[in-house]
Structure 1
Amino acid sequence: MIRSTAPRRSTPIRVALTGANGGYGRTLLDQLRRLPDMESVQLIDPDVAGVGRMLADLGVDPATVATPATSDETAAAVAAGRIAVLADGAAIDFASIDVLVEATGRIDAGHGYADAALEHGTHVVMVSKEIESVAGVALAAKARAKGLRYLPGDGDQPADLLRLVDWVLAVGFEIVALGKSSEYDLRFDPATGVVDQNGVTIDAPGLADHLLLGDDLHATLDARAAQVASLKRSAAADACEMNVVSLYTGAVADVESMHYPVVRPDELADVYATREAGGLVGRTGAIDVFSMLRLPGEASFAGGVFAIVRTGDPVTWEILRGKGHVVSRAGDFAAIYWPYHYMGIETPLSLAAAVDGTSTLREPRQHTIMAARSTGALEAGTTFRVEGHHHEIAGVAPVIVDPDAGEIAPYYLLSGARLVRDVPAGELVQLADLDDVPQAALEAYRAGLALGV
């Protein structure tokens, strides 16, 4: 059997997980059971019964699961070797955990969990990109001041892309563009002319005429976009993830809603070349998202991440092209990519980095804001709700913009907030437009802005 050469700890890393009864939580809990030097000791989720069913589904003996009501009861349960399942943060025993993984995706609750963990001397791994986009800068600064670590969670695209960027820069490349594929592929069957996007199908027989880029890249991309125009290809989750990457890299969006070209992976280096070279990119270091187009039998990009770099010696890159690497037709740009994100399966890497202090990420700053632009006229009194799998808000579209003295409202600060004035169609929602904003998260956002870029 092939075995890891990584040293194993004599004392396991003790992990608390919020938002435990979700897809991300399940993947992490399953992976932790494979690692002898990490263990989940406290699971926090309002659906205590659902967490219990999930644990049983994963093969955990119900006799080893406790549902304490106080922090003292939680401490006793953990000391007895049981997993404590908690309905909220009131019964968390921070003394018996080393790292808190925040995965609720809810601004008020998630920020509260992360902030409390840091107050109690506990490292934080942030999976909730929604919270990161609003309060990540302040939480990271607080962690640093306390000698703790605050890290985005490996397994989600932001942390994966940051690791890829670290590698790309370490070997000496200049990055022209960086990003990820969108949430769902466009699977096109030329035999039927049907496009399937995660179970939503449309007839698009004309797409068969545009499977190759041809001589006019922009015309091809426009034609592909027209063929799939009835599908919803962008998501707030995409904008949020790219905003998080911006915090740690300083990269900015080329256009505020991102390009979202319909692309096959072997075209990435041509599509994300600079405009001067015939591509889409108008500024160096642009963050973006593409919709992957694939045919039956072709592998998915799996929500993976990419970086587009300038090449060097043409002979070197022709050698690499011959080995299957993605190089632009003119040879001046190349795509370096990881076609995966494995959710909680990868997060143990972040847990180890938090405890060991081995992360190479630079401190985040609010280089961009994920803002909300009204998609129609909004009336005073409108209350915003974050809803659905992708945590979107009706009436506004997510956009990535430059900071503006703190007056632009971050998208996820709209959660539960109410408009105090009418907002015309096409305007950015401002902080002054809102009442009932989550106050702790707002204060954290302002504190992060105050640190500058």
Structure 2
Amino acid sequence: MTPLHPGTAGTAPQGRTVTFALTGACGGFARTLLATARLTGDIRPTVLCDRDTDGVHALAADLGHPADALLTADTPAQVAEAVATGRIAVVADIALLSGADFDILVEATGSPAAGYRAARQALLEDRHVAMVSKEVDSVAGVGLAAIAADRGLVYTPAEGDQPANLILWYERLAGLGLDIVALGKSSEYDLVYDPEQGTVSQLDTTVAAPELGALLRLGDDPNATLAARAEAVRALKRSAAADHCEMAVVASATGFTADRPELHYPVARVSELADVYAHRDHGGIRERDGVLDVFSVLRLPDEASFAGGVFAVVRTHDAQTWETLRAKGHLVSRDGRYGCLYLPYHAMGVETPATLRRAVVEGAGVSPRTPHQCAVLAGRADGDLAPGTELTLYGHHHEVRGVAPALCDADAVPADAAPFYLLAGSTTAREIADGSLITLDDLADVDPELLSAWQAGRNTTAT
């Protein structure tokens, strides 16, 4: 099998089957992984965990599994019996993963507390962990990685989601000796401009934006053009907590951090990225080097999507080398100072088997470095919050109601700043003014285990 991602492992050695347990087994990611596992021959699920066990059976049937290939299990003995007889155990309770037979846990619940418990339990039972739930990773990833390292196990983001893909891309380019100044990804959904209608569409939302027709080129003042584009699409919500969360995971692995807590989110065409992410002194948006960011893709209806892909902006070295690359279609800034190298896809669970093989067969994650908490995904009150306000998750991108994400350098926020996804499920202990950074003392009913994991990771140092 040819790996999707440069540098990923191929199929496992002949005769070696990698077995996995999957939490959040009814989600969209789960389907893409389970569908792909059916094709590989060397990646096999043994336990599928989701509160909707009927939904898991329906999904498996839709993917071609015979009805008798899965068995709903309510006890550890039933789980063991199912796996021992070559069937897939379907469980509703994460606790039933304890003692089950699998090589690696794929954690995809999206629940900070439940996902943390599942991952920690797996590590303490000497199972590797591939983390899909970036919400868990942004709070407890550093602490979980430390547990894994102590036990000689792998804890890693999973390929197919942008954090792992971007970390791998960083490792590949850094290994080539390139001077990387910015890393990032596109937002989840493109802005598609229709010049005939004078409208811009994001998924199923279309708004009038005739002024974009005159803004399709950066012009002599890129920052003015970017500001005008942002104003033209102001009716569309482009910022998402999920984007900030993914960049927080990348920060822990690379040491890069956000240029500003709210991120830049430029509305940019792919061909412009080397110019857009130039330093401000050279006409771009960056204030410094080592920046993480997210951009909104602006494209025409007949142009290919960036497909949630990832990019790196580098300083060019030998001018002739990069002019040769420009001639071959690579992105080089107009002044020749910067180049942009990118991967225009993120294929979800289609890519994840490479992570499972890498972890189980090679004993490696997507990064050779131990993660450290160089950034904090914090939260600011989005309006005044009264005492007793419940802070709940909502929406596809797991926003926290009443709170705006802020991706801050770890040394720029107080030690008691509350991580964004620790807020979910808690209530406010006192009044919090609009715009205030939320601290641990502002909260009641915080999950104690997740808090302990956060504090353990917060106290780590770079290695």
Report the TM-score when normalising by structure 2: 0.96
Residue deviations 1:88-114 (CA, integer Å, cap 9, x gap): 123225341110000000011110000
Q: Give the letter aligned to residue 120 of structure 1.
A: E
Which of 431, 445, 450 is the equivalent residue of 2:459? 450
Cross-structure match for 1:190: 195
Q: Which amino acid aligns with 1:375?
A: D
CA contact (8 A) 2:160 2:346 kept: yes
Q: Check conservation: 1:70, 1:92, Cα contact below 8 A.
A: no
**Structure 2 CA distance for partners of 1:399 and 1:156, relative to 1, 3 Å:** same
Name stretches of at least 5 consecutive residues in structure 1 with no aligned partner.
none
Distance in 2 of aligned mates of 1:28 and 1:62: 19
How far off is 1:2 after superposition?
8.9
Tell me the number of residue pairs that the alignment of Structure 1 and Structure 2 aligns.
453
Equivalents in 2 of 1:11, 1:94: separation in Å? 21
- For the residue of structure 1 that corresponds to 2:40, the secondary structure is coil
Q: Are residue 274 (structure 1) and residue 279 (structure 2) matched?
A: yes
In the other structure, the counterpart of 1:242 is: 247
2:397 aligned residue: 390
CA distance in 2, matches of 1:279, 1:5: 39
Query: Could you tell me how far apart the structure 2 residues matched to 1:426 and 1:90 are?
Result: 39
* Identity between Structure 1 and Structure 2 (%): 50
Contact residue 261 and residue 291 of structure 1 kept, 8 A: yes
Residue aligned with 1:320, SS: helix
SS in 2 for 1:96: coil
Could you tell me how far apart the structure 1 residues matched to 2:10 and 2:163 are? 27
Q: How big is each residue's C-alpha offset from its partner over 1:57-78, in whole Å with a ceiling of 9 and x where there is no partner?
A: 0010011110011111111111
CA distance in 1, matches of 2:234, 2:308: 21
Aligned CA distance change for structure 1 residues 22 and 7 (closer, same or farther; 3 Å): closer
State the partner residue of 1:85: 90
For the residues of structure 1 that align with 2:329 and 2:147, how far apart are their CA atoms?
Answer: 45
1:205 aligned to which of 207, 210, 213: 210
**Which of the residues 13, 18, 38 maps onto 1:8?**
13
Matches for 1:171-320 after TM superposition, within 5 Å: 171-320=176-325
User: What is the Cα deviation at residue 11 of structure 1?
Assistant: 3.4
Greater than 6 Å deviation, 4+ residue runs? 1-5
CA distance in 2, matches of 1:319, 1:36: 42
- Verify the 8 A CA contact 1:75 1:93 in the aligned structure 2: no
SS at the partner of 2:39? coil
Supply the RMSD in Å over aligned alpha carbons: 1.4
Spell out, residue by residue over 1:249-299, the C-alpha distance to the aligned partner (whole angstroms, 9 max, x if none).
111100110000000000000000011111111111100000000001100
Give the equivalent residue in structure 2 for 1:153: 158
The aligned residue for residue 386 of structure 2 is 379
Structure-2 separation of matches of 1:393 and 1:306: 28
Q: Does 1:420 align with 2:425?
A: no
- Whether 1:358 aligns to 2:364 is yes
Which blocks of at least 5 consecutive residues in structure 2 are unaligned? Answer: 4-8
Structure 1 residue 438: deviation in Å?
1.2
| Deviation per residue, 1:337-362 (Å, 9 max, x gap) | 00000100111111111112133431
What's the offset of the Cα at 1:402? 2.2
Tell me, in whole angstroms, the C-alpha distance in 2 between the residues paired with 1:5 and 1:397: 40
Where 1:179 maps in the other structure, the secondary structure is strand
- Alignment equivalent of 1:120, drawn from 104, 122, 125: 125
Distance 1:179 1:312 in 2: 21
Contact in 1 for aligned 2:51/2:92 (Cα 8 Å): yes
Partner residue, 1:406: 415
Question: How far, CA to CA, are the matches of 2:70 and 2:84 in structure 1?
Answer: 12
Structure 1: distance between partners of 2:395 and 2:160: 21
One-letter amino acid of the counterpart of residue 392, structure 1: E
Distance in 2 (CA, whole Å) between partners of 1:257 and 1:42 is: 39
Q: 1:342 aligns with which of 347, 352, 368?
A: 347
The corresponding residue for 1:432 is 441
Q: Distance in 1 between matches of 2:2 and 2:364?
A: 25
* Residues 239, 67 of structure 1: alpha-carbon distance in 2 compared, 3 angstrom cutoff: same
- What does 1:38-49 correspond to in 2, within 5 Å? 38-49=43-54
Task: Give the SS at the match of 1:34.
Answer: helix
Query: How far 1:5 moved relative to its partner?
Result: 7.4
Partners of 2:98 and 2:122 within 8 A in 1 = no
For residues 145 and 2 of structure 1, do their structure 2 counterparts lie closer, same or farther at Cα, with a shift above 3 Å needed?
A: closer
Q: Tell me, what secondary structure is at the counterpart of 1:33?
A: helix
1:367 maps to 2:379: no
Moved more, 399-408 or 187-196: 399-408
Matched-pair contact (CA < 8 Å) for 1:263–1:291: yes
SS at match of 1:238: helix
Q: Aligned AA for 2:45?
A: S
Distance 1:290 1:192, change over 3 A: same
